[in-house]
Amino acid sequence: MRGHRIRQRREDLGMTQQELADKLLVTVQAVSQWENGKTQPDSDRIPQLAKLLRTTADDLLDDAAPIAVSWQLSDRMFSEERMYSKLKAFAPAEGLEPVLWAFWDVLSILPGLACLGEMPGYEQGNPHHHLDLQGHTIQAVVSVPGKEALRLAALLHDSGKPACRTVDQQGVAHFYGHAKESARLAEEALRKLRCENALRRQVVELVELHDLWVPPTLPSARRWLGRLGEEGLRDLLALERGDTLAHAPACQPPRLARLAQWEALLDQVVEEGDCLSLRDLAVKGEDLLALGFAAGPELGATLRHLLEEVVEGRLENHREVLLAAARERLEEYHA
């Protein structure tokens, strides 16, 4: 840790040691010792410290950065929560790649992450990949935005590949079903690490969907936006982009072009405010009751049918248009 850089950045910002200490919830003596090089901040404080000083973690760390930000493995008494908090601390950090290479064996001994121990030297045997499984995973992790869910999903997105490997007659390896197996392993790992429920569900969903290449069309964009929400779909596309950038260079252009199409469609649907869910539909259950539908399965099925017709672009989301379609369906029920 470059203590002089902490002092320099603090003074450049006109911040006192006490003000910095208050923001980090530490004592002023701790800040003074960091700046004098007598001690260094805990690794899980480094991203926040860098943010407060409006710089990067790399700027504050010296050439021994991987050691400076290690999980201090000499202390084997960490609880699962403590180890998980240190793992999460690196999600938004810059300069993550050398840390992952240096401490991959550390990750693999954390609860639930033994699957990472299979990755070093695991050749994927496929023309789409030029890196072993460890190299591919690290490249994916550093290629996604520094967001906890995305970094954790990238770390685990191919963890199920070894269990799903098959080899065809030409000697090419395939990993059918690996996304589902990786999601299972991610669920298991994050439960053992006592990850927060909401974040765990988000990561598992991203891992399970990361290999789902749906053709980029407006109806597809509406369906997936309705299912995942804008943030969720943008996260999935960001994970796909990070995964793509870890593929063999020759395979990247068509994948990146498809992602660009998806992103353009997503922007279009969001801007136009398209109908994406039942709550956006121009008719409600009360309207169908007034038409003569009975409360029950037929009413719910009709609402879902109208939504599908709107999402697919076969009906406009206008009240009179939908009521007319509902009347036709009601007549069919009673024919």
Residue 71 pLDDT class (50, 70, 90 cuts): very low
Q: Which two tokens stand for residue 28?
A: 């002023």
In angstroms, the CA 32 to CA 27 distance is 9
In angstroms, the CA 189 to CA 117 distance is 13
pTM of the predicted structure, to 2 decimals: 0.69
Query: Which residues are within 8 A (CB) of 261 and not within 5 positions of it... i.e. 6 or more apart?
Result: 216
Three-state DSSP string of 271-283: HHCCCCCHHHCCC
Q: What's the confidence (pLDDT) of residue 94? A: 67
Is the distance from CB of 61 to CB of 54 less than 8 angstroms? Answer: no
- Please determine, for residue 190, whether its predicted confidence score (pLDDT) is greater than 90: yes
- Please determine, for residue 137, whether its predicted confidence score (pLDDT) is greater than 90: yes
242-253 tens-digit pLDDT: 999 999 999 999
In angstroms, the CA 208 to CA 184 distance is 8
Nearest to 160 by CA among 140, 173, 179: 179
Q: Label residue 47 left, alpha or beta by phi (over 0 means left) and psi (-120 to 50 means alpha).
A: alpha
Question: Which residue blocks in the chain are alpha helix, DSSP H?
Answer: 3-12, 17-24, 28-35, 46-52, 57-60, 65-68, 80-89, 96-102, 104-107, 133-143, 148-156, 161-164, 178-192, 197-209, 218-244, 252-272, 285-291, 297-311, 319-333
Provide the pairing of β-strand 173-174 with 166-167: antiparallel
Query: Which residues are within 8 A (CB) of 297 and not within 5 positions of it... i.e. 6 or more apart?
Result: none
Percent of the chain residues past pLDDT 90, beyond the cut = 59
Residue 68 pLDDT class (50, 70, 90 cuts): very low
- Please determine, for residue 128, whether its predicted confidence score (pLDDT) is greater than 90: yes
Query: Which residues are within 8 A (CB) of 148 and not within 5 positions of it... i.e. 6 or more apart?
Result: 88, 91, 92, 199
Is the distance from CB of 113 to CB of 103 less than 8 angstroms? Answer: no
Query: Which residues are within 8 A (CB) of 258 and not within 5 positions of it... i.e. 6 or more apart?
Result: 213, 216
- Please determine, for residue 181, whether its predicted confidence score (pLDDT) is greater than 90: yes
89-124 tens-digit pLDDT: 666 666 788 888 877 887 887 778 899 999 999 999
Is the distance from CB of 85 to CB of 71 less than 8 angstroms? Answer: no
Largest CA distance in the chain: 86
In angstroms, the CA 139 to CA 231 distance is 23
Across the chain, what does the average pLDDT equal?
Answer: 87
> What domains does the chain contain, in order, with CATH numbers?
1-69 (1.10.260.40), 98-272 (no CATH), 278-333 (1.10.246)
Tell me what the mean pLDDT of segment 45-70 comes to: 66
In angstroms, the CA 186 to CA 180 distance is 10
Pick the more confident residue, 178 or 58. 178
Q: What's the confidence (pLDDT) of residue 86? A: 60
Q: Of 81-85, 96-100, 260-264, 304-308, which gets the smallest average pLDDT? A: 81-85
Q: What's the confidence (pLDDT) of residue 74? A: 37
Task: Kindly report each contact of residues 280-284 with a partner whose C-beta sits within 8 Å and lies 24 or more positions away, as own/partner.
Answer: 280/317, 281/306, 281/307, 281/310, 281/317, 281/322, 282/317, 282/318, 282/319, 282/322, 283/319, 283/322, 283/323, 283/326
Residue 50 pLDDT class (50, 70, 90 cuts): confident
Tell me what the mean pLDDT of segment 300-322 comes to: 91
283-309 tens-digit pLDDT: 999 999 999 999 999 999 999 999 999
In angstroms, the CA 68 to CA 275 distance is 50
